Amino acid sequence: MKHLQLPKSLKVRIGLAGLGMFILLTIIGPWIAPYDPNYTGFAQNASPSWNHLLGTTIQGQDVLSQLLIGCRSTMVVSFIAGFLATIISIVIGVASGYVGGKADEGLSVLSNVFLAIPGLPLLIVLNSYLPAGQQTNPLVIGSVIALTGWAWGARVLRAQTLSLRDRDFVEAARIIGEKRVRIMFGEIGPNLLPILTSSLLFTILYAVGVYTTLAFLGLTNVSTWNWGTMLYWAQSNNAGLAGEWWWVGPPGIMIALIGTSLALINFGIDEFINPRLRAGGVSAKLRRASGAPRRPRLGLTPVLHKSTEAGSR
Amino acid sequence: MTDKTILEVQNFDVDYGYGDAAVRAVSDVSFTLGASKVLGVAGESGSGKSPLVYGLTRLLREPGVIVGGEVKFHLDGEGEFDILSASEEEIRKIRWSHISIVLQSALSALNPLRRIGREFDEVLRVHDANLSKEQRRERSEELLALVGLRPDRLRRFPHELSGGQRQRIMIAMALALRPELVIMDEPTTALDVVTQREIVSELAELRRQLGFAMIFITHDLSLLVELADDIMVMYAGQIVERAPAKELHDAPRHPYTLGLMNSFPPLHGERTELEGIPGSPPDLKALPTGCPFSPRCAFAMDKCRQERPPLVLEAGTEHSVACWLHDSSYQGAVPVELSKRLAKNSGGAQ
Amino acid sequence: MSQVETGKTLLEAKALSRHFIVKGDGGFFSKRKSIAAVEGADVALRAGKILAVVGESGSGKSVLARLLSRIVSPTSGELVLNGETVDLKTQRDLAYASQVQLVLQDPFAAMNPVRRVGHSLERPLSIHGVPEDEISARAHEILESVSLTPPQQFLDRYPHELSGGQLQRINIARALAVKPKVLLADEPISMLDVSVRLGILNLLRSLCDDKNLAIMYITHDIASARYIADEVVVMYAGQIVERSNDTSLINSPQHPYTQLLIASVPDPTNLGAEVVKAPSGGAAAFNLNGCRFSPRCSQALAMCATNEPPMVEVAPGQHAKCWLHASDAQRASVTISNKSKNEMESKNV
């Protein structure tokens, strides 16, 4: 994309900043973590202090270090899961939408089956079949999570493809002799970017939630650090009951923050990707300044006289 | 029908957007409309004909804003009605009962989930709570008969009817409360030529019967010459010419009007190569200084590019033009194509 | 590239028909009906000539264009390209696409809104084998041939940044990129501003003359047909009802539908003329047994409702599908066969 501009909306900028911070932590987390998260030599159950910004666990481990190291694992697995799921949903959704006929019917049945099967139980089952060594491999866990998360995106993309398929520019591409696959991914594809990106963002969020839940239930390897594992240990030691908020709180807050960032980015995605919308809509600020009502009513076009003050009654 | 004026518009301005981002869609428009007269408003993209007419009735959508001027209606039983300073309640009272509107696409104006009869029932019920259901149905059937449709059409859904029938229903609904002014926004553009002819002649008949005034917006100038009493040609939000229909057709004064008329290839007579108008419709965000038509005008002078010509009424006639060529300050000879009293069948669109 | 000689028939359709199966309008359980969107169409497109196909919506003119471009396949009939019958059982291939191209009505919808114009223009070049390093130069060349200069400025833009007229020129350029012999234009100017329409029509005319293309110009506006066409064909309800080798049918229409069409066009030079009134039609009023126009025809004969009229020569080079112009012998043979049909039916009762 030749002309990349920063989106104008404040919401999106905050979201991007948030995401950026998490990506940064993923990369440098282990370096800036002050201590080894496994080291159990510190004072136990200490509340936050200068030495331990987030206090320590009941076993005397530093919470902050666990959080920072855990960030990497959670983020990597979630992003892998999100991207894989999105790729699967593109291939299945766009193909079934464009090709139609029997292929569409078959793929739709497949999507519906995966959509209907409850994700978490399926994951638990799949996970239990993984060889012990593979359970810590982020790629493997990511794939397993992706397998349960692609169906919704596929349905959405199929619906969108169906509606785009009948547009004139697709017919024009067929007329000049463009091949089917190139039409799907070269012509229809770019028009799907907004919905695709939205789907990707939410699938990543879904993966964060699911992975954390799996870990919280103790179903993943409890010796790799991620936010869910922290919650697992906190829960099994009744940290909540004991009022150790510095142990229970932070993982949950991190998840909430990453979720919020992704959601905020989603607001501005349309504008960023669709060149037509980049010109910007009506600025609420300018409208307020000119004195027009905040929500002009239909059938009551505002009247602003340059000489007088605010608009219609 | 008296010589009463029912609409007076003075220095009307409409913007799209606010503050610095605002684009002037209608610029300093002034005109009057007499009772029972038909005013045709002709123009292309960016001409301002739609924001003008929707703005007049306060029906313009976001981000349209009215930023200047006066609009006064003179309605039966209401006296002078200043729509720009009226309250929502007051506007609602006169809407549909005195001023109604027929939109371009009936398919999008009618609720696809409702039968036609229900739409009529709704309109009549909202405006006159005294009518009984039976009376409303009778009235609906009367209205359908007015536009030549059988009463059984009341039971149909919009998609079950043809385009022409739907448009007739829109017209019938617009006339439901016997308004004095009906605004038509390109009502026949989406219809085929034969249906258009039928509807236009039906409208003429209805006007004879009911005597309402009409503002008819269209890009089809040749249709207006038949249909309208007066024609107003708009370009880039401004009126560039206004004259009685026949006069506009026989002797256009503004180069844009001339170009527009020459853009309709004739159905009879000699087959010659025509030019249309070079260039593209104006970009309202970036209008040139001076006359907005100057970049495309074959007769443009230096003055045209510097100063915008005012709309000037020629003494002793009903013909106004906004063009430096016809201004008293212009000393040279007016080009033959734009001169007064052209003999028929020379120049123009023949 | 060698020029084809003017007047040579490049693409011909013989008795082309396209039927669609639709549900009847009796609700969920109604029987399926077969609707003929196009029936028995014979058209010939000649090099250096423009054939205008005039009709309203529902007349089948757009389906005819899609049949000729092979985007839609016919249910019966033949297509002959360059003298060779086209194998309609196989899919449309690249070779056909390089010979026959189609320009669509809505210039904005016909371009991918999220890709730059350059992409949409370079794809056909690339697909049809233009070497990578020549593509850019060819794209510039094509834009210049449709009077869009400087070309690079247009290539860099997105469709929504251009006007309708400019975009339609680009659509025409895209169709011409593959150097076709036949260009089908489906209502290319109806969605454009009035003042730019003539520019596009003049462009089509000059392209036809310069490159000896065969152009089929589809429109509902008979005046524009008269302006650029060499030959005219009028369609109603899927059938060709009148045709002429020049534009004479516009000056002296013989088929009642053509007469109605021409009388309905707003004619400022002829104000106050007698308004022709025809009973209100609507799509449901096609008569599928006899002449399809008969329910709306003020001059209909008895046989029009039951027997489909033949295509009859009404003037040198002009034909109309109408019983009014059929010879006495033709009408007589029908009356005889009708009578015998009635007799047989009454015997079976």
Please state, as a whole number, how many other Cβ atoms lie within 10 Å of the Cβ of residue B138: 13
Give first-to-last CA distance, chain A, whole Å. Answer: 47
Lowest mean pLDDT among A184-188, B129-133, B242-246: B129-133
| B90 and B58 Cβ atoms separated by less than 8 Å | no
Q: Is the pLDDT of residue A309 over 80?
A: no
Nearest to B164 among C267, C268, C282 (CB): C282
Q: Is the pLDDT of residue A1 over 50?
A: no
**pLDDT tens, residue by residue, C276-314:** 555 554 444 556 778 888 888 888 888 888 888 889 999
| A192 and A164 Cβ atoms separated by less than 8 Å | yes
- What is the pLDDT at residue A276? 59
Better-scored residue on pLDDT, A58 or B15: B15
Nearest to B65 among A297, A298, A304 (CB): A304
What is d(CA C126, CA C119) in angstroms, rounded to the nearest whole number?
10
Name the neighbours of B, counting chains with at least 3 Cβ pairs within 8 A.
A, C
Please state, as a whole number, how many other Cβ atoms lie within 10 Å of the Cβ of residue A199: 25
Task: Please confirm whether the linkage preceding B63 is cis (ω < 30° from 0).
Answer: yes
- What is the pLDDT at residue A134? 67
Tokens of C216: 């089929």
What ipTM was assigned to the predicted interfaces of this complex? 0.84
Looking at the complex, does the CB of residue C313 fall below 8 Å from at least one CB of chain B?
no
Q: Sketch the domain layout of chain C as residue ranges.
A: 9-25+33-237
Please tell me the class of the A10-281 domain: mainly alpha
CB contact under 8 A, B58 and A299: yes
- What is the pLDDT at residue A189? 87
Closest CA of chain A from B316, distance in Å: 34
Q: Which residue(s) pair with C11 in the sheet? A: C45, C81
Percent of chain B past pLDDT 90, that is, above it, reads 31
- What is the pLDDT at residue A38? 80
Percent of chain C past pLDDT 70, that is, above it, reads 89
The residue-averaged pLDDT of B211-236 equals 92
Residues of chain A contacting B65 with CB distance shorter than 8 Å = 290, 292, 296, 301-304, 311
Looking at the complex, does the CB of residue C32 fall below 8 Å from at least one CB of chain B?
no
Looking at the complex, does the CB of residue B21 fall below 8 Å from at least one CB of chain A?
yes
Better-scored residue on pLDDT, A47 or B266: B266
Q: Which of B92-106, B144-158, C196-210 shows the highest mean pLDDT?
A: C196-210
Q: Which of A45-49, A172-176, A243-247, B122-126 shows the highest mean pLDDT?
A: A172-176
- What is the pLDDT at residue A122? 82
Q: Which of B65, B90, B183, B284 is the best residue to mutate to test the A interface, defined by the most A CB atoms within 10 Å of its own CB?
A: B65
Q: Is the pLDDT of residue A284 over 80?
A: no
Q: Is the pLDDT of residue A103 over 70?
A: yes
Looking at the complex, does the CB of residue B109 fall below 8 Å from at least one CB of chain A?
no
- What is the pLDDT at residue A133? 67
Q: Is the pLDDT of residue B213 over 90?
A: yes
- What is the pLDDT at residue C283? 42
Lowest mean pLDDT among A14-23, A35-44, B294-303: A35-44
Q: Assign A216 a pLDDT band (cuts: 50, 70, 90).
A: confident
The residue-averaged pLDDT of A162-169 equals 90
Percent of chain A past pLDDT 90, that is, above it, reads 16
Sequence-distant (6+) residues with CB within 8 A of C39 are: C17, C60, C238, C239
| Chain B residues with CB within 8 Å of chain C CB | 44-45, 148, 161-162, 164-165, 192-198, 201, 219-223, 225-226, 246, 249, 259-260, 263-268, 271, 273-278, 280-281, 349-350
Listed as ranges, residues in chain C with pLDDT below 70 are 1-3, 23-31, 270-287, 336, 345-349
Q: Sketch the domain layout of chain A as residue ranges.
A: 10-281, 285-313
Q: Assign B201 a pLDDT band (cuts: 50, 70, 90).
A: confident
The whole model's pTM is what?
0.85
**pLDDT tens, residue by residue, B339-349:** 765 444 444 44
- What is the pLDDT at residue B24? 92
Please tell me the class of the C9-25+33-237 domain: alpha beta
Sequence-distant (6+) residues with CB within 8 A of A219 are: A124, A127, A128
Q: Name the helix (H) or strand (E) containing B231.
A: strand B230-235
Q: Is the pLDDT of residue A87 over 50?
A: yes
The residue-averaged pLDDT of A278-302 equals 72
Mean of per-residue pLDDT scores for chain B: 86
Better-scored residue on pLDDT, A276 or A184: A184
Nearest to B192 among C165, C220, C263 (CB): C220
Q: Is the pLDDT of residue B1 over 50?
A: no
Q: Which residue(s) pair with C232 in the sheet? A: C52, C244
| C77 and C17 Cβ atoms separated by less than 8 Å | yes
Q: Assign A154 a pLDDT band (cuts: 50, 70, 90).
A: very high
Lowest mean pLDDT among A205-214, A232-241, B15-24, B210-219: A232-241
Half-sphere exposure (Cβ direction) of C329: Cα atoms closer than 13 Å: 1
Burial category of C237 from C-beta neighbours within 10 Å (exposed 0-12, middle 13-18, buried 19 and up): buried
